[in-house]
């Protein structure tokens, strides 16, 4: 098996376009204090990029399956897509209108549903997975069968989604409760605004975003949800674009419902950058750390691993859920394998991959625990310095750099 991104989704952007695309995404939450129009214009640019790429994908589908017995249905779907774009031109793209994240998400979700319908025509396996994916109580196929009827009508789709618990987090900050009788319930407690972007979900191209960038955004409580245009891999099987999106939303919601310390996580990321400069944390080791951080955040293990010191008794092989440590997933480019270095993935060697993952977790554990030690020690060192107690210049320089980088406070 060779390493390539054939199976990864993200449109047909070249490297330079991908960099610009992600910079726009980051500016939504890193640039503060601007007028709403600034952020709205970013979303409009991202939506234009999406439609431009989807135009190409649609044509490829038509060309590839032009002799297919479902050709007439393809043409119907293409016509509905043209109507979706036309509707957006009459509302979302108007110069004097503010495009917000909920509307942007629904426009993106329309594309996800469009390609779910396309792959169900071209892939018989897609229909079978729609009937058995996830636990039966989620009834994802019931959700889909309801909203697909109105996918090309923005207002109707919007109103339908507001009634579906799992999708409420697209519209604002939600409170997630679980009881034995009612199961998981979602209640919108704060409507989304550009002034309150935390806990936002943004439907976008995912293969443009590295594990480090995913971790960085999650530490800022921003969660990227994937747009797929074909069958993709999630939790051990191939799924349709809609199921993949549902899978991503579920992961984001699960993290939101568990105890985690986003402020501490964010400080750790800044601390890692300081470590990189001072103790020569090279790019390979940095990547190892971010792969582990991504898996911990994605699988909602932050509450147990990133709020206190990680016990020496905890190792990679003991992490939960079990499929995190399933080496077959790491040997699959459609699953965790896309996170591995190319050279390692291409070996398809169980022992080498296990060693890499164990080393990665141990490296994260060591640096995380050191971070917590320094975090606790520095105030004491500052107090000692104020009392004229001598600290070696090199040691003080190190502490000062770490403290300033991680906590934004001068000592």
Alpha carbon 358 to chain centroid, angstroms: 24
DSSP 3-state of 175: strand
What the block records as the tokens of 342 is: 């190319």
Q: Of the candidates 77, 63, 65, 60, which has an alpha carbon nearest to the alpha carbon of residue 12?
A: 60
* Average pLDDT of span 361-380: 78
pLDDT band (50, 70, 90) for residue 217: confident
Higher-pLDDT residue of 358 and 252 is 358
pLDDT band (50, 70, 90) for residue 357: very high
The pLDDT tens digits for 130-164 are: 544 444 445 777 888 889 999 999 999 999 988 88
Specify the pairing of strand 222-226 against strand 200-204: parallel
* Average pLDDT of span 21-43: 87
Per-residue DSSP letter, 338: G
Q: Of the candidates 348, 236, 340, which has an alpha carbon nearest to the alpha carbon of residue 292?
A: 340
Instruction: Tell me what percent of the residues of the chain surpass a pLDDT of 90.
Output: 24
Q: State the DSSP H helix or E strand holding residue 273, giving kind and residue range, or none if neither.
A: helix 262-278
Position 46 pLDDT exceeds 90: yes
Could you tell me which residues come within 8 angstroms of residue 262 by beta carbon, excluding any fewer than 6 positions away?
218, 219, 220, 221
159 CB burial (10 A radius; 0-12, 13-18, 19+): exposed
pLDDT band (50, 70, 90) for residue 210: confident
What the block records as the tokens of 98 is: 């503010």
How many helices (H) does the chain have, and how many strands (E)? 16, 6
Position 388 pLDDT exceeds 60: no
Q: What is the pTM of this model?
A: 0.81
The per-residue pLDDT for 363 is 93
pLDDT band (50, 70, 90) for residue 275: confident
Position 332 pLDDT exceeds 50: yes
Instruction: Kindly list the domain boundaries of the chain, sorted by start residue.
Output: 15-257, 264-407
The per-residue pLDDT for 141 is 76
pLDDT band (50, 70, 90) for residue 300: confident
For the chain, the residue count is 411
Average model confidence (pLDDT) across the chain: 78
3-state secondary structure 11-32: CCCCHHHHHHHHHHHHHHHHCC
Q: Cα–Cα distance between 60 and 162 in angstroms, integer?
A: 33
19-33, 140-154, 177-191, 386-400: the lowest-pLDDT one: 386-400
117 CB burial (10 A radius; 0-12, 13-18, 19+): buried
253 dihedral zone (left: phi>0; alpha: psi -120 to 50; beta): alpha
């Amino acid at each position: 098996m060779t390493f390539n991104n054939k199976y990864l989704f993200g449109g047909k952007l070249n490297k330079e376009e991908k960099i610009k695309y992600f910079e726009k995404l980051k500016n939504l939450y890193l640039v503060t204090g601007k007028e709403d129009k600034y952020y709205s214009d970013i979303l409009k640019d991202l939506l234009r990029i999406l439609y431009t790429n989807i135009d190409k994908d649609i044509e490829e589908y038509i060309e590839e399956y032009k002799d297919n017995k479902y050709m007439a249905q393809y043409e119907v779907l293409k016509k509905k897509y043209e109507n979706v774009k036309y509707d957006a031109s009459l509302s979302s793209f108007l110069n004097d209108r503010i495009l917000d994240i909920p509307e942007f998400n629904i426009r993106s979700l329309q594309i996800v549903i469009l390609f779910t319908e396309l792959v169900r025509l071209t892939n018989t396996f897609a229909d079978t997975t729609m009937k058995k994916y996830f636990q039966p109580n989620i009834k994802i196929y019931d959700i889909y069968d309801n909203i697909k009827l109105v996918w090309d009508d923005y207002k109707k789709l919007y109103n339908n989604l507001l009634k579906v618990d799992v999708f409420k987090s697209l519209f604002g900050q939600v409170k997630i409760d679980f009881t034995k009788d009612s199961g998981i319930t979602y209640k919108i407690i704060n409507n989304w605004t550009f002034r309150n972007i935390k806990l936002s979900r943004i439907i976008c191209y995912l293969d443009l975003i590295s594990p480090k960038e995913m971790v960085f955004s999650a530490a800022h409580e921003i969660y990227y949800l994937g747009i797929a245009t074909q069958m993709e891999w999630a939790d051990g099987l191939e799924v349709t674009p809609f199921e993949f999106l549902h899978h991503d939303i579920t992961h984001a919601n699960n993290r939101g419902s568990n105890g985690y310390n986003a402020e501490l996580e964010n400080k750790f990321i800044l601390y890692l950058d300081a470590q990189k400069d001072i103790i020569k944390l090279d790019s390979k080791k940095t990547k190892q750390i971010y792969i582990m951080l991504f898996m911990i955040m994605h699988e909602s293990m932050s509450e147990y691993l990133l709020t206190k010191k990680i016990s020496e008794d905890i190792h990679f092989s003991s992490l939960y859920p079990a499929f995190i440590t399933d080496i077959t997933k790491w040997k699959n480019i459609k699953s965790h394998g896309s996170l591995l270095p190319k050279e390692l993935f291409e070996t398809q060697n169980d022992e080498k991959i296990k060693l890499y993952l164990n080393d990665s977790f141990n490296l994260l554990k060591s640096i995380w625990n050191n971070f917590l030690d320094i975090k606790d020690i520095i105030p004491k060192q500052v107090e000692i310095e104020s009392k004229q107690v001598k600290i070696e210049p090199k040691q003080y320089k190190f502490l000062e750099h770490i403290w300033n980088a991680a906590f934004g406070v001068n000592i």
